[in-house]
Amino acid sequence: MLCLSLATGCAGSLPEGARPNPEGTADLPLPTPGAGETAAGDNAAPPRPQLPLSGATVVVDPGHNGGNAEAASEINKQVPAGPEKKACDTVGASTGDGYPEHEFNWDLSLRVRDRLAAEGATVVLTRPDNKGVGPCVNERAQIGNDAEADVAISIHADGGPASGRGFHVIAPGEVAGYTEPILEPSRILAEDLRDEFVEVQPHADYLADEGLDFRTDLGGLNMSTVPKVFLEVGNMRNSTDAANLTDPDWRDEAAEAITAGLSRYLLRD
């Protein structure tokens, strides 16, 4: 049974076809089927085929949150982010028309969650809605660590120069004592995600090398013990990208590409 929750796992149940015997009496023997008859077990539904991502746990982290703008003191507090401390969180970017990044991140994350779940993955979101504050960057990483996730992705949209457009994937750089165990798997994850996402969006033309960027200053990566990347889906301040980000049909295409990239990584031999 699939459990999509930020909290505990799912409750157990009796095996299919099992019948409790509360009185403790012995069951009567079943008659042997005669010619032309079918045993009861022969009518049972066939077992469900295993879905491609069954057994995989994915943490999807929608960047920022809807209440951050009204909680300056809370999101500005310093928290562990690797060798140094950083602000708990930030407000995020927005398009020229005022569409906020936190809302985009939440919407796209739900679309990704649904597609991953349909493929059999257990999906954990780092926040339950778009009305709260935070969580802090170290807490977002810890959610993935506690879930012992096979992979984690933080979904964002950039606030770059208005003349630049495109996406980039941020992978952890080497931070002694922090990121060494996840460097190689995170790099592979970043490449798989990039190679799928380029089908719906060009590489960023204002930073990063062929759609990849390696950073050592992000607490969400530095504090992670599981393979993790950030995806900057597009530039909210660019008119072409903004038109895509505000289009629900395009967000569906983006969710499909993200799911394909994560699946490509998870299904590697």
Residues recognised as catalytic: 232
Q: Tell me the β-bridge partners of 125.
A: 60
Rg (C-alpha) for the chain, rounded Å, is 23
CA angle 97, 100, 105 (to 5 degrees): 135
Residues 6 or more apart in contact with residue 88 via CB below 8 angstroms: 74, 75, 76, 77, 78, 79, 134, 136, 137
- The b/e string for 242-261 (b: 16+ C-beta within 10 A; e otherwise) is bebbeeeebbebbbbbbbbb
Q: Which of 132, 106, 148, 131 is nearest to 255 (CA)?
A: 106
User: Does the N-terminal peptide bond of residue 49 adopt cis geometry, omega within 30 degrees of 0?
Assistant: no
Chain position carrying tokens 């679309």: 111
258: closest CA among 202, 171, 189? 189
Whether 214 contacts 170, CB under 8 Å: yes
Q: Both ends of the chain: CA-CA distance in Å?
A: 25
DSSP 8-state class, residue 260: H
